[in-house]
Chain A
Amino acid sequence: DSGVTQTPKHLITATGQRVTLRCSPRSGDLSVYWYQQSLDQGLQFLIQYYNGEERAKGNILERFSAQQFPDLHSELNLSSLELGDSALYFCASSVGINGGGETQYFGPGTRLLVL
């Protein structure tokens, strides 16, 4: 158990809908990262927040957005869902901003199925 929690574990929804994934980092960690894992794209970095501010952005679609709240939990919002958005979404956390090679600890993931 990494100490990173994610809810829900599973999510089934329909195309065109909007969902919110939630992540709580390890105690003391200020950075939260979001990744998407799919069979065709592999593991892809989406976005990083550090202490409430966006710090790095990857190949995140415009239909997706994220934020980190004052209590450091983060939410990933996925809207206008398409079949291709079906994937495993991981949250990870680290102590700092990760300029020094810190380990990113991964949560259990949310499995999203869009029908």
Chain B
Amino acid sequence: ELKVEQNPLFLSMQEGKNYTIYCNYSTTSDRLYWYRQDPGKSLESLFVLLSNGAVKQEGRLMASLDTKARLSTLHITAAVHDLSATYFCAVGAQKLVFGQGTRLTINP
């Protein structure tokens, strides 16, 4: 059974700092997704990573995938308050298996 684990689950950081969220999964997959969820809202697609070594960047967020290590990272550069949200990674094709989510709070 595929399991997806994120860490940390909670992250409080200051504006301007860098940090990384980690996503580990238990079985081989070359498809990994990152989503953002604001409180009480839906999930917004951030990145789709489809191969080993894939790296995608959008603004202050950069995601990478290492399929051999079964690990994806979401790196936040020079955080700003607007990035405060819960971030989920998900693995799979039709059946997405989600991690627990990382609740990120960025303080001024």
Find out whether the CB atom of B45 lies under 8 angstroms from the CB atom of A105.
yes
**Is the Cβ of B43 less than 8 Å from the Cβ of A90?**
yes
State how many residues of chain B have any CB contact under 8 Å with chain A.
22
Asked if A103 contacts B45 (CB within 8 A), the reply is: yes
Chain A's nearest CB lies how many Å from the CB of B53?
Answer: 15
Of the four ranges (under 10, 10 to 19, 20 to 34, 35 or more), the interface on chain A belongs to 20 to 34
Q: Contact between B98 and A42 (Cβ–Cβ < 8 Å)? A: yes
For residue B95, which residues in chain A have a CB less than 8 angstroms away from its CB? 45, 48, 56, 58
Most buried by A among B33, B42, B98, B100: B42
B42 x A107 contact (CB < 8 A): yes
A33 to B94, CA, bound (A): 8
CB distance from A48 to the nearest CB of B (A): 5
A interface with B by C-beta (< 8 Å): 2, 31, 33, 35, 42-45, 48, 55-56, 58, 90, 92, 97-99, 101-109
